[in-house]
């Protein structure tokens, strides 16, 4: 087995390699003055099973093109079985037509990957549980919820009181929050989120399901953080409802430029994310803690 990585998240690929007791194979990459990428595989891979690690975060199009070229190079050099590990799957929020005249961008990305004849895809906490079923190739859809459950238990040294509650910042996260509820034995509530489809801005959170009555500690859980505004609004709403301590958990730290400041100044104790997306130093802040998904991905690879 050989493992390769694009440039979007080399630290995660190195951690996965270490867990698999493998050395990350080299990729010869050249970028032309106009931005075109040229990818070359120098290892002998004929008849080998290969893994490619590449998250499709910002710059999403550039990272996807690098992934496509890597996959094409591996297939052209007769790799026996190619697994694409795409921890953060870019365009996953564009999974259907929201307004007349729109493209369904997610389906375009899926068709491209299928045309490159990948044998398997591994991803984590996709925006919708329905997304894996859009593929014609096998998809292993992992979840960071067990990792988050362990961290929640660790915060309270294995015991969480009746004053704690799990909170989904929108109704779309109900399945996710229910899974975490099963793992932690904590009750849950969900907030109703109103988003302007033209601007993307979120306004007016309110409790829509579950109860915050007599709750003092809240764990807000989501699949990703982009601008940070959803988390800040949810946290402020919870404070108004009597919550005294708030912890944020999100799998993918997309983090726009303003997100670190918004989260640092939000009424939350800590913000826990995974390393599915590489977070540069300039986007890290004092409340941030990064949990690694490398052991989870490596364990999944070993099973197949």
Q: How far is CA 268 from CA 175, 234, 241, in A?
A: 24, 10, 14
DSSP 289-302: EEE--HHHHHHHHH
Cα separation, 259 vs 267, whole angstroms: 14
Backbone angles phi, psi at 83, to 5 degrees: -110, 120
| Cβ atoms 3, 50 nearer than 8 A | yes
Cα separation, 287 vs 123, whole angstroms: 26
C-alpha closest to that of 155 among 289, 260, 264: 289
Residue 45 pairs with which residues in a beta bridge? none
For residue 182, count other CB atoms closer than 10 A to its CB: 11
Cα separation, 135 vs 4, whole angstroms: 23
The answer to whether residue 130 is catalytic is no
Run of H or E including 271? strand 270-274
Active-site residue, selected from the candidate residues 23, 193, 215, 245: 193
For residue 167, count other CB atoms closer than 10 A to its CB: 29
Which residues are the active-site residues?
A: 193
């Amino acid at each position: 087995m050989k493992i390769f990585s694009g440039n979007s998240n080399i630290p995660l690929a190195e951690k996965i390699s270490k867990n698999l007791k493998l050395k990350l194979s080299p990729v010869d990459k050249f970028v032309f003055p106009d931005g075109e990428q040229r990818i070359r595989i120098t290892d002998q891979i004929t008849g080998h099973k290969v893994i490619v690690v590449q998250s499709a975060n910002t710059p999403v199009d550039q990272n996807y093109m690098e992934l496509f070229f890597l996959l094409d190079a591996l297939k052209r050099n007769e790799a026996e079985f190619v697994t694409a590990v795409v921890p953060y799957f870019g365009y996953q929020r564009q999974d259907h037509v929201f307004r007349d005249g729109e493209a369904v961008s997610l389906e375009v990305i899926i068709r491209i990957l299928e045309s490159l004849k990948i044998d398997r895809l591994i991803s984590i906490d996709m925006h919708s549980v329905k997304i894996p079923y859009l593929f014609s190739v096998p998809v292993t859809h992992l979840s960071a919820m067990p990792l988050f459950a362990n961290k929640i238990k660790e915060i309270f040294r294995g015991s969480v009181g009746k004053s704690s509650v799990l909170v989904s910042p929108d109704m779309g996260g109900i399945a996710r929050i229910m899974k975490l509820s099963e793992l932690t034995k904590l009750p849950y509530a969900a907030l109703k989120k109103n988003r302007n489809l033209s601007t993307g801005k979120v306004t007016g959170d309110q409790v829509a399901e579950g109860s915050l009555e007599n709750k003092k500690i809240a764990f807000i859980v989501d699949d990703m953080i982009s601008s940070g505004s959803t988390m800040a609004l949810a946290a402020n709403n919870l404070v108004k409802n009597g919550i005294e301590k708030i912890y944020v958990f999100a799998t993918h730290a997309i983090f726009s430029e303003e997100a670190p400041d918004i989260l640092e100044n939000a009424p939350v104790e800590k913000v826990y994310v995974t390393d599915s997306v590489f977070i540069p130093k300039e986007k890290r802040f004092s409340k941030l803690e990064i949990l690694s998904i490398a052991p989870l991905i490596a364990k999944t690879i070993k099973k197949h």
